[in-house]
Chain A
Amino acid sequence: MRSPIASITLFLVLLTGASPAGAHGARVIWEFRGDSVFVSAAFDDGMPMDSAQVTVFSGAAPSEPWLTGFTDDRGGFAFLPDRSESSNWDVQVRKAGHGDIVHLSLESDTVNSGSGGGLSALQTVLMSACVVWGFIGTAFFFASRRKRV
């Protein structure tokens, strides 16, 4: 069951970060769920990568699979990383000749996307605009309250 945050984030990622060549790529995002990590994988057209092959790599031994499994029918996969082993993890998701690998730094963000979590310029601008708009709205709210007093 994908969380609303993961779903919205994946939607925004797919919306603003279309496939490099405009085709059928795959995108993977992740988020914390308590101590666990939850991964969501979808094709560029938004279709979930259900029953996709998942391989988890620990930063302590990055070339050897730490865990393997398959996504659920909504492209989701959860696992509990051993934080004593490493704070850096990589999760690869593959299906039908398409795949993506995402880097997880457990000491940083709570929702990340893409091959390594990097955001495109458009995504950065969009997210920054949302945050600034929130600040402006808050500021005007308090300013209007002072006027009434």
Chain B
Amino acid sequence: MGTLKAALFAVLALAMIHAVPGCGDADQAQAGSEEQTAAPEYGSLQFVANGEDFVRDGFVSSDGWSITFRHLYVTISDLTAYQTDPPYDPHSREEIAGEVTVELEGVHTVDLVPGEGGIETALVGFLENVPVGHYNAMSWTMVPAADGPSRGYSIYLDAQAEKGDQSYNVMLGFEDIYHYLAGEYVGDVRKGFVEPGETGELEMTFHLDHLFGDNGLPVDSELNLMAMGFGPFTSLMQEGTVEEDLRSLESKLSQSDYEKLLAILLTLGHTGEGHCSCVVR
């Protein structure tokens, strides 16, 4: 009988644990409905993509190769911004539940290497008449481009790799589809605020140092231990050119290098310095 009472007590305790957040949810829902009764105000929201100085100015890989980008194309679709409360945590890997959600329609290919006199970030798209507030989460999907120089690839880089008297044209295309879930932008300024009649901004940031490493960091730094460097690609050279995609790399790279590459590609997308959840679809 005592055991039965103990079990009953435990079940009641468990029910109480789950009941308390339920009350909180109800309060939030009520607060949300009260907010919805106020007349909404509107502004604009622009989406930009940024390859950072690594892509704009070039850099030296962890194994000493000087990498200079001519083009770095990314193709983005299903770009969605959210206002979430509480703020979305990408570590949860759960889908984003936004109280306010706005989506940029279409598929957009942008080059993260700016042209002569170009600005640092590439404009992906612009939304007018979005509800004001703080867009503190976003999601996007990277899909193979339907046409243009990066046709067939969601990420396509055209670069020059040089070390001593060696110089390679490097054209790498990645054809997988990547779905990103991101929390708030982390950087020098906070982003995503839309004020009445004003334009807010959200940024997708791509960290190419994850792929090739960064000679400016210690060899045993976490980033350089994770990165491939450029060395594994030199064995694929044909007449001074490395031109590969994931399908060909799977058969040409060692299994460990190929698996490392697949893992790295999941880490390229960020919001500033904030990390994202990414899966291949």
Contacts and interface: CB of A to CB of B under 8 A. Distances in A.
B14 interface: yes
Contact of A115 (B2, B14, B87, B189): B87
A22 B134 CA distance: 28
B281 interface: no
Contact of B183 (A19, A57, A101, A132): A101
Contacts of B207: 97
Interface stretch (B41-49, B245-253, B266-274): B266-274
Contact of A22 (B2, B89, B92, B266): B266
B17 A128 contact: yes
Interface stretch (A30-38, A74-82, A138-146): A138-146
A10 B239 CA distance: 52
Interface residues of A, number: 47
Given A101-B274, A136-B10, A139-B10, A17 B91 contact: yes
B278 A100 contact: no
A62 B9 contact: no
Q: Per DSSP, are chain A's interface residues mostly helix, strand or loop, or mixed?
A: mixed
A101 B89 contact: no
Contacts of B134: 62
Given A132-B10, A132-B17, A143-B2, A23 B267 contact: yes
A133 B272 CA distance: 41
Given A21-B266, A21-B267, A22-B263, A98 B275 contact: yes
Contacts of B136: 116
Nearest to A18: B91
A63 B2 contact: no
Interface string A1-40: 0000000000000000111111111110000000000000
Contacts of B29: none
A66 to B, nearest CB: 12
A49 to B, nearest CB: 12
Interface string A115-149: 11111110000001001100110011011101100
A120 B183 contact: no
Nearest to B13: A135
Interface in B207-230: 207, 209-210, 217, 222-223, 226
A43 B222 contact: yes
B140 interface: no
A57 B181 CA distance: 24
A73 interface: no
A62 B83 CA distance: 14
Contact of A118 (B3, B88, B263, B266): B88
B273 A19 contact: no
A9 B170 CA distance: 45
A24 B222 contact: yes
B187 interface: yes
A48 interface: no
Nearest to B277: A20
Given A19-B275, A43-B222, A27 B91 contact: yes
A135 to B, nearest CB: 4
Contact of B275 (A25, A105, A118, A132): A25
Contacts of A120: 89, 91-94
* A-B complex: 6 closest residue pairs judged by Cβ atoms: A116-B87, A143-B2, A139-B6, A20-B277, A99-B273, A118-B89
5 contacts: A21-B277, A22-B263, A26-B275, A62-B193, A117-B87
Interface of B: 2-3, 5-7, 9-10, 13-14, 17, 84, 86-94, 134, 136, 181, 183-184, 186-187, 189-190, 193, 207, 209-210, 217, 222-223, 226, 263, 266-267, 272-278
Given A43-B222, A101-B274, A131-B17, 9 more contacts: A17-B92, A23-B226, A27-B91, A45-B222, A99-B187, A100-B275, A101-B184, A116-B84, A136-B10
